[in-house]
């Protein structure tokens, strides 16, 4: 097997195409975008944002008309992006007063929002309760006690939804698993019984609007969604028997997966376990059938279903354009240095894979294998899993007998193939497009090493573009310093 995902095919009709060997997104030449806005540059697609919103709404509401899609704004809280999704019919999930502020700036009302998270501040609760937010997803008994105190001080009633630990394992990597008691999220059954008793004792200040569960992100196993449906159906009935009024909604969380390449064919050259992480057949139609439909059949069509998708709304809506600044030869392979490292795309720090296309040589068929790294003064700033590769080497050096299990060690510890396939004529100055970089990227940019944050543009529906986030300037590096 090769150590690189196959470069071709990368095209996506109507979205990512080529003309005269140049990469286009939504009919816009990416090289011209770099000339106009500079590098590195995020390019978001309004058409793709609207398509993803329509995809989930149509599929979920086909089987349960009373479904509300609350986009998880932590995936991207850029105002222009939030406004597109609002116009496309989505509500919103927030995790802080900052996201509450941005959502309101984008035009969402508090009744369009659910407030998620594990350590909500008193001042944040004061803000959302005062504005009668649709629901607060309560993560602990201690948090519920704080909500009660705030509601009493404001003489307002708080709408609360209790987040349960379903003990269902799901997610592409350990840090993305949120559905078991090994994670930091949610309440056990015993804790929820305590919380429900507290709610019933204070009907003038607390209303239990629903139950909530979230099992992880990039969940590619359909049986996991079946387990979630079975659990929530049973638990909704159990909770309903304890309450003096009916539940208003069931919140299913998110975690829905997306593909990180244009075709399954890209992955034919690498080990199967990589395919399972970065490619999936799970789409919104399948999720509607296995997750939404059973809940409708068991609990009826009147109860509201809430979902909180983030990555699945955002990842394939953007590409990152980054220029090759220099190169070296190491062992048998060239190493290319981009002007974007984990300061611009933080997910590479955890070894996550993003497919690459040379925007200047989009149709070249002759290829070569290479390594790609970023510009930061940090050995972890690589577009391969240097940490995982290092752990395997250390284990084999410490215990040579483990060499018989080399393949297993790599499967567990190395998160992505360690080489890239790019056009054979790739050289300094070329623009590399990293695909499917829309989720979490803008939110997690940083100015480590004094590197300035990237700009972002949005391609519109008329093959034009507009700036939606300016490039950072040197003065921005001083914005928090006092001197």
pLDDT of residue 276: 85
Neighbours of 477 (CB within 10 A): 14
Contact between 154 and 129 (Cβ < 8 Å): yes
Neighbours of 34 (CB within 10 A): 19
Contact between 291 and 63 (Cβ < 8 Å): no
- Helical (H) or strand (E) element with 420: strand 420-423
| Calpha distance 131→134 (Å, rounded) | 9
H runs (alpha helix) in 257-340: 272-278, 284-287, 293-299, 311-314
pLDDT of residue 1: 45
Average pLDDT over the chain reads 94
CA quadruple 410, 254, 131, 138: dihedral positive or negative?
negative
| Calpha distance 25→245 (Å, rounded) | 51
Six token digits for residue 230: 């079975």
Neighbours of 443 (CB within 10 A): 14
Going through 202-297 in order, the beta strands assigned E by DSSP cover 206-212, 249-251
Report CA Rg, the chain. Answer: 24
Residue 187 has pLDDT above 80, yes or no: yes
pLDDT of residue 178: 54
Q: Of 472, 473, 457, give the one whose Cα is nearest residue 30.
A: 457
Roughly what angle, to the nearest 10 degrees, separates helices 79-87 and 97-105?
A: 60
Contact between 465 and 33 (Cβ < 8 Å): yes
Write out the DSSP string of 342-373.
Answer: TTT-GGGGGT----EEETTSTT---EEEEEEE
Six token digits for residue 375: 């510009």
Six token digits for residue 303: 């109860």
Residue 344 has pLDDT above 60, yes or no: yes
pLDDT digits (tens, 9 = 90+) for 137-162: 999 999 999 999 999 999 999 999 99
Average pLDDT value for residue range 269-296: 93
Neighbours of 273 (CB within 10 A): 14
> Going from the N-terminus, what domains does the chain have, and what CATH number goes with each?
16-45+316-478 (2.40.37.10), 109-309 (3.20.20.10)
pLDDT of residue 175: 47
Residue 189 has pLDDT above 90, yes or no: no
CA quadruple 453, 454, 455, 461: dihedral positive or negative?
negative
Residue 248 has pLDDT above 90, yes or no: yes
Average pLDDT value for residue range 31-50: 98
pLDDT of residue 166: 79
Residue 323 has pLDDT above 70, yes or no: yes
Between these two residues, 250 and 180, which has the higher pLDDT value?
Answer: 250
pLDDT digits (tens, 9 = 90+) for 400-434: 999 999 989 988 899 999 899 999 999 999 999 99
Secondary structure of residue 398 in the 3-state scheme = helix
pLDDT of residue 170: 54
CA quadruple 206, 211, 215, 219: dihedral positive or negative?
negative
Write out the DSSP string of 430-474.
Answer: PEEEESS--SSHHHH---GGGPPPPEEEEE-TTS-EEEEEPPP-G
Is the preceding peptide bond at 40 cis, omega within 30 degrees of 0?
Answer: yes
Kindly report the pTM of this predicted structure: 0.93
Contact between 38 and 455 (Cβ < 8 Å): yes
């Amino acid at each position: 097997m090769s150590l690189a995902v196959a470069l071709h095919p990368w095209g996506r009709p109507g979205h990512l195409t080529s003309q005269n060997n140049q990469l286009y997104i939504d009919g816009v030449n990416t090289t011209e975008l770099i000339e106009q806005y500079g590098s590195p540059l995020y390019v978001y697609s309004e058409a793709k944002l609207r398509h993803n919103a329509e995809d989930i709404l149509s599929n979920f509401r086909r089987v349960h008309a009373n479904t509300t899609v609350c986009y998880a704004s932590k995936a991207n809280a850029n105002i222009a992006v939030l406004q597109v999704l609002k116009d496309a019919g989505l509500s919103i999930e927030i995790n802080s007063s900052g996201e509450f502020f941005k959502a309101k700036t984008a035009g969402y009302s508090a009744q369009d929002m659910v407030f998620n998270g594990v350590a909500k501040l008193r001042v944040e609760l004061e803000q959302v309760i005062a504005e009668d937010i649709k629901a607060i997803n309560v993560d602990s008994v201690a948090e519920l006690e704080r909500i009660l105190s705030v509601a009493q001080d404001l003489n307002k009633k708080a709408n609360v939804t209790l987040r349960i630990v379903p003990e269902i394992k799901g997610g592409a990597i350990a840090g993305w698993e949120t559905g078991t008691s090994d994670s930091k999220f949610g309440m056990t059954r015993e804790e929820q019984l305590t919380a429900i008793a507290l709610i019933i004792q204070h009907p003038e200040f607390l209303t239990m609007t629903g139950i909530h569960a979230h099992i992880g992100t990039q969940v590619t196993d359909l049986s996991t969604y079946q387990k979630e449906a079975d659990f929530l159906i049973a638990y909704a009935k159990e909770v309903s028997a304890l309450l003096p009024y009916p539940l208003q909604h069931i919140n299913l969380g998110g975690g829905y997966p997306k593909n990180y390449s244009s075709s399954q064919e890209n992955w034919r050259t690498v080990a199967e376990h990589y395919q399972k992480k970065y490619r999936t057949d799970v789409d919104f139609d399948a999720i509607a059938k296995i997750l939404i439909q059973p809940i409708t059949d068991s609990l009826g069509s009147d109860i509201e279903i809430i979902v909180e998708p983030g990555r699945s709304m955002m990842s394939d809506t953007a590409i990152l354009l980054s220029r090759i600044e220099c190169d070296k030869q190491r062992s048998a392979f060239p190493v290319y240095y981009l002007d974007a490292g984990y300061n611009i795309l933080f997910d590479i720090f955890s070894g996550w894979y993003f497919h690459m296309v040379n925007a200047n040589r989009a149709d070249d068929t002759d290829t070569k294998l290479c390594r790609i790294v970023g510009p930061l003064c940090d050995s972890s700033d690589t577009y391969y899993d240097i940490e995982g590769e290092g752990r395997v080497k250390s284990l084999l050096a410490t215990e040579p007998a483990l060499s018989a299990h080399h393949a297993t060690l790599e499967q567990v510890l190395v998160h992505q193939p360690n080489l890239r396939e790019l056009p054979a004529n790739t050289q300094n100055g070329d623009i590399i497009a990293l695909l499917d970089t829309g989720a979490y990227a803008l939110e997690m940019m940083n100015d480590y090493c004094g590197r300035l944050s990237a700009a972002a543009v949005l391609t519109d529906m008329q093959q034009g573009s507009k700036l939606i986030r300016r490039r950072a300037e040197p003065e921005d590096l001083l914005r928090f310093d006092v001197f």
